[in-house]
Structure formats: structure tokens, C-alpha cells
């Protein structure tokens, strides 16, 4: 028996043991997910004691398969920023093992929701141009500024924060990375209502909020490198495809097609077949990447998956709207709901019309499709980069408007 097979058996056995002792259909979700953390199944490639088993990243699919087949939840859907982005950043860059465990266990159980304070009104695609400042005051940092498009900030207990600690350095080099208590004084969250009627995004105002230096991730001025850990994992987690054939967005389109034979045409049938093939190709590509994954960080396939998935999602929902015909314009309810308080995620996501509107954000959140194309072209394919007039200039000398 190969080592890989032995490790896969070990992971599967551990997952079955959790299911026997914490039946997903009977115990609270937090209890089940905390048990998964203690068993090393939250992130199997993390170190032992921090929610992992020190095994290959690709074996996470084994644990997830056993747990979800038994009726367990998809943790990423419950705490997306925490599970997909905060956890790998914390385990790599937090200053002490004690802090890592203190943050990771309630994160994994979804007791603590996390958010990501990166984008600003004047620094979206050009994230390194951000203006939020962090000024040292003894053993603390005083943070002032504004963040925007912050998913789940209104429910978050903790936040990943990128702030400028040295305006005299070039924009990529004067940044540091922190964990911010969202309940701290000086932190104000304001919802941003979307065209769907929901308000999952927020703007966050920071007015003298204080952060202990112990909550700094990585070295002073090394914030951009730490942020790359977050962003690469963000794109990988968003771009990951479901492991079942025909699941996800394309499954919704197929179900709609089956339910509406009165709307069938040869042209729409061809479109659906082409979309299904593209979705299956993306799923297989994601599965191949997961199977080949090691304990190392994600590679460029994360950006590929995110880019392809975002554009495909939009096209699938456009197909659904075309199939519905005049019914596509019907939109009866703009009542806001809180994603973390709705047991049925499909109910939160709303009807197809709402999902179509929400899909427009797919090519913006987690890195716009345009930025991802630049990243793949420059850093993967080695194509010439864009001209950057601000390269090497101190951030405080760069014109901002």
C-alpha cells in the first residue's frame, strides 16, 4: 500500500469517527465543526493541533466527502473569509502558536465569523495604493481610514487588515498586516445595499481603532507579502469547483431546463450543452489541481479557476434568464436577510432572478477578471507588464484623486 493510500485511509477513518460521535443530522453545526478541528480535519495540511494532520492538501477532499455525505455542512459557505482566506494566513504568519489556536478553533467552528479589510474607495484594483494608516503607540497600533466592499463585516468578530505603516516607502513596501477586533472602539460598520436587495457588503470606518502589536501578522513592512498569502488562497477558494458532476450553478440551469419544456428550442439546447461541457471541464481541472496539491500554498491554478468560474457563472445565469423569457423580469422581494441567520442557503440566495443579479459581482470580488488576466499574463505566461509610472516612488508623493 502506498503512502498516499495510507494517508487517505487515515483521513477517511478519522472523518468517519467524527461522524459516529457527532452525527451531523443531530448535533449543532458548531459542535460538529469543532470536532473536525480537534480531529485535524478542518484543514488536513495544517500542523497537528491547529486543525490539521500535516498531510497533503489534496486529501482535504477525502475528509470533506465523508462529512458531507453524512449530511455535514460546507464550512466555506458558512464562514467564507475565515475558512478560505484567514486560516491559511494565520497559520503561516501569526506570531505565536497560542494565538494561532486561539483564532483558528472558533474560526473553524464558525463561532467567530471573519472579514477582510483590504479594498478602499481609492484603492480597489490597485490595492497597494491604500491610504488607511496604522501609527505605532507603544505596544499598540492606532488605525485610521476607510475600507469598502467588506463581505460580512456586519457579522464579523475578527478582520484581516492591511494598513500603511510607512508613507515614505514605495506603496508595496510601506504596508503591514494586522488582525483587528471588529468589536473594538473606533470600528463602525455601515451596510451597502446591493441591487439584489441584500446588504452582504459593507463599508467600515476606522477612527483611532487600537490593535496590539502581538496581533501583527508577519514582519513590520512585510504586509504585501502576507497579503499575497491571503489573495492566492482567496482566489483558490472562490475558484474551487464542487466535486460532484453537474453540481452547483450548472445544476440549477439543468434543473430549470427540465422543469420548463415549454421553453425548449434547439438554440437554447446547444447553449446549455456547451455550458455543461465548460462546467465539467472546470470541475475536472479543479479536481486535478486538488489531487496534485501538496502542503505548499496554492499556485496559479487558483487564479485560473476563479477567472473561469466567475465568467462561467455569469453566462449560466444569463442562459437561465433567456430560458425564462418574460418571467426573467419578475422580481418580487427586495427584503434584506442576513446570510449567517438563514439555515437554508438556497432561501438566502433567492430565486434565479436574484442569483443572476448577484452573479455580476463574481467578476469583481476576489480580484476583477481584468486584474486576474493581467496576473496570469505577466506572472504565469511571462508577458510584458503594464507601464507603472509610480514604481519606486514614495507612496506620499504619488498623486491621488
- Dist CA 351 CA 331 (whole Å): 9
Beta-bridge mates of residue 141: 136, 211
Catalytic hit among 120, 200, 234, 301: 234
- Determine whether 111 is an active site residue: no
In this structure, what C-alpha cell is assigned to residue 183? 468589536
Residues designated catalytic: 234
Amino acid at each position: 500500500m502506498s503512502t498516499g493510500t495510507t494517508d487517505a485511509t487515515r483521513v477517511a477513518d478519522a472523518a468517519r469517527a467524527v461522524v459516529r460521535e457527532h452525527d451531523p443530522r443531530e448535533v449543532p453545526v458548531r459542535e460538529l465543526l469543532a470536532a473536525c478541528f480537534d480531529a485535524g480535519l478542518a484543514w488536513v495540511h495544517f500542523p497537528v493541533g491547529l486543525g490539521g494532520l500535516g498531510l497533503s492538501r489534496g486529501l482535504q477532499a477525502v475528509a470533506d466527502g465523508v462529512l458531507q455525505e453524512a449530511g455535514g455542512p460546507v464550512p466555506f459557505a458558512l464562514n467564507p473569509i475565515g475558512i478560505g482566506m484567514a486560516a491559511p494566513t494565520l497559520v503561516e504568519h501569526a506570531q505565536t502558536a497560542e494565538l494561532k489556536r486561539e483564532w483558528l478553533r472558533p474560526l473553524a467552528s464558525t463561532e467567530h465569523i471573519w472579514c477582510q479589510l483590504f479594498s478602499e474607495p481609492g484603492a480597489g484594483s490597485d490595492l497597494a495604493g491604500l491610504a488607511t494608516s496604522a501609527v505605532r503607540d507603544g505596544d499598540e497600533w492606532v488605525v485610521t481610514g476607510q475600507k469598502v466592499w467588506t463581505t460580512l463585516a456586519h457579522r464579523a468578530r475578527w478582520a484581516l487588515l492591511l494598513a500603511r505603516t510607512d508613507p515614505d516607502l514605495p506603496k508595496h513596501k510601506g504596508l503591514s498586516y494586522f488582525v483587528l477586533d471588529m468589536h473594538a472602539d473606533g470600528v463602525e460598520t455601515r451596510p451597502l445595499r446591493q441591487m439584489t436587495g441584500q446588504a452582504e457588503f459593507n463599508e467600515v470606518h476606522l477612527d483611532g481603532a487600537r490593535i496590539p502589536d502581538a496581533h501583527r501578522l508577519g514582519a513590520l513592512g512585510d504586509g504585501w507579502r502576507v497579503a499575497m498569502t491571503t489573495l492566492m488562497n482567496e482566489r483558490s477558494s472562490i475558484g474551487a469547483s464542487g466535486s460532484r458532476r453537474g453540481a452547483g450553478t450548472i445544476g440549477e440551469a439543468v434543473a430549470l431546463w427540465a422543469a420548463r419544456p415549454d421553453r425548449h428550442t434547439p438554440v437554447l439546447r446547444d447553449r446549455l450543452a456547451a455550458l455543461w461541457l465548460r462546467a465539467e471541464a472546470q470541475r475536472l481541472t479543479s479536481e486535478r489541481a486538488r489531487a496534485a496539491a501538496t502542503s505548499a500554498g496554492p499556485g496559479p491554478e487558483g487564479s485560473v479557476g476563479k477567472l473561469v468560474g466567475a465568467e462561467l457563472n455569469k453566462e449560466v445565469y444569463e442562459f437561465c434568464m433567456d430560458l425564462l423569457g418574460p418571467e426573467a423580469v419578475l422580481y418580487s422581494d427586495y427584503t434584506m436577510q442576513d446570510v449567517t441567520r438563514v439555515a437554508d442557503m438556497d432561501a438566502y440566495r433567492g430565486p434565479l432572478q436574484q442569483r443572476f443579479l448577484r452573479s455580476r459581482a463574481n467578476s469583481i470580488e476576489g480580484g476583477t477578471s481584468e486584474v486576474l488576466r493581467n496576473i496570469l499574463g505577466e506572472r504565469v505566461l511571462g508577458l510584458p507588464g503594464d507601464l507603472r509610472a509610480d514604481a519606486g516612488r514614495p507612496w506620499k508623493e504619488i498623486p491621488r484623486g
